[in-house]
Amino acid sequence: MKDQLNRPLRDLRISVIDRCNLRCQYCMPKEIFGPDYPFLPPSELLTYDEIERIAKLFVQLGVGKIRLTGGEPLLRKNLPVLIERLVQIEGLHDIALTTNGIFLPKYANDLKKAGLQRVNISLDSINDELFGEMNGRNVGVTPVKRGIEAAKKAGLGIKINMVIKKGMNDSEIIPMATYCKENELELRFIEYMDVGSTNGWKMKDVITKKEIYRKLQESFELEAVEADYFGEVAKKYKYKDSNVLVGFITSVSESFCSSCTRARLSANGNLYTCLFNGNGHNLRDFIRQGADDAAVNAFIKTIWENRRDRYSDERTEETAKQRKKIEMSYIGG
């Protein structure tokens, strides 16, 4: 099954909750997501039965990889139960989780036992003061480091996600690379993106992959690594004196729309064909109205086969302002 630009459906990202314990400026700025913010009531979230059913149907249509996101997915009760059910789906060969890491000391072992394979942990600075400023809760680095250690001990694969914003944490590029290299952690530098409409994104705040790479070369020798599969997002490199990898997510400066194989399911059950497309398709209500599996399959198939999204290819400062987008807290990364 392919879309209008001949891109197959291979990956599904499922947001299980729209809440988070942090207020990172590029995702859920505290000025917007304050104490009175109307988060989704439990009745509007997809149930685990609904998520499992949808996941099975997506796998039938070609999906082999699922990533669970949020908000902060570990705020969803009994998440290992969902993972245990998802890993039983025949044809699903990879399941991962994106998290801020703070709850991993409590849940890492249970996640691993349930069948989770990998975690991506968000960490935008190893400076306590700066990290606290960025996450909007004055949370230091130590809780995240404890989460990293817990994931290691549990035997989970680990990647570190670092969003770079000019004038905020670009001074942390080398310290973060050094920390991750010394601790044998794969680091992903992520260009600051215009996800949603609340983070005040401007092109001038973007540090591009070329700029980050140039900075890294001042301290490290890097060599390119080939992609593992079609549609792999990160452009990967290896430190020449170790086997540790470092990658770049270049949605702004070097778009990868032409090989995008990802569909996204929001916390309230809307299906999105692009991270930057605010026009979702209400899969939750379609299911709750009694649609059988064949009808749901046809619904998904029609959406994907009519997909034309290539926003990052077309992005300008003006289109970034004008386009309707779903917030990161509903749809994950």
**315: pLDDT strictly greater than 70:** yes
Q: Which residue has the higher pLDDT, 326 or 52?
A: 52
pLDDT digits (tens, 9 = 90+) for 268-300: 999 999 988 888 999 999 999 999 999 999 999
Residue 291: per-residue pLDDT: 98
**What are the CA-CA distances from residue 65 to residues 24, 179, 196, 263, 279 (Å)?**
27, 29, 24, 11, 23
Q: CB-based contacts of 292: which residues, under 8 Å, 6+ apart?
A: none
**Is residue 180 included in any domain, yes or no?**
yes
Supply 280's token pair.
């979702």
Residue 303: per-residue pLDDT: 97
Residue 227: per-residue pLDDT: 83
Q: CA 274, 279, 282 angle in degrees (round to 5)? A: 105
Number of C-beta neighbours around residue 72 at 10 A: 23
Length of the chain equals 333
Residue 36: per-residue pLDDT: 93
pLDDT digits (tens, 9 = 90+) for 43-72: 999 999 999 999 999 999 999 999 999 999
- Tell me, what CATH number does 208's domain have? 3.20.20.70
**Is residue 232 included in any domain, yes or no?**
yes
Residue 321: per-residue pLDDT: 64
Q: CB-based contacts of 128: which residues, under 8 Å, 6+ apart?
A: 140, 141, 142
What is the chain's mean pLDDT, rounded? 93
Number of C-beta neighbours around residue 283 at 10 A: 23
**Is residue 190 included in any domain, yes or no?**
yes
**Is residue 78 included in any domain, yes or no?**
yes
At which residue do the structure tokens 């817990």 appear? 150
The single-letter DSSP state of residue 118 is E
- The string of DSSP codes covering 225-265 is E--SSTT---EEEEETTSS-EEEEE-TTTS--GGG--EEEE
Q: Which residue has the higher pLDDT, 215 or 227?
A: 215
Supply 271's token pair.
């299906």
pLDDT digits (tens, 9 = 90+) for 26-39: 889 899 999 999 99
Residue 320: per-residue pLDDT: 65
**Is residue 6 included in any domain, yes or no?**
no
Residue 322: per-residue pLDDT: 61
The domain tally of the chain equals 1
Banded model confidence at residue 319, pLDDT cuts 50, 70, 90: low
Write out the residue range of the structural domain in which residue 282 sits. Answer: 11-331
pLDDT digits (tens, 9 = 90+) for 165-210: 999 999 999 999 999 999 999 999 999 988 877 777 888 999 999 9
**313: pLDDT strictly greater than 90:** no
pLDDT digits (tens, 9 = 90+) for 81-114: 999 999 999 999 999 999 999 999 999 999 999 9
% of the chain residues with pLDDT over 90: 81
Tell me the C-alpha distance between 225 and 222, whole Å: 9
**127: pLDDT strictly greater than 70:** yes
Residue 231: per-residue pLDDT: 72
Amino acid at 267: A
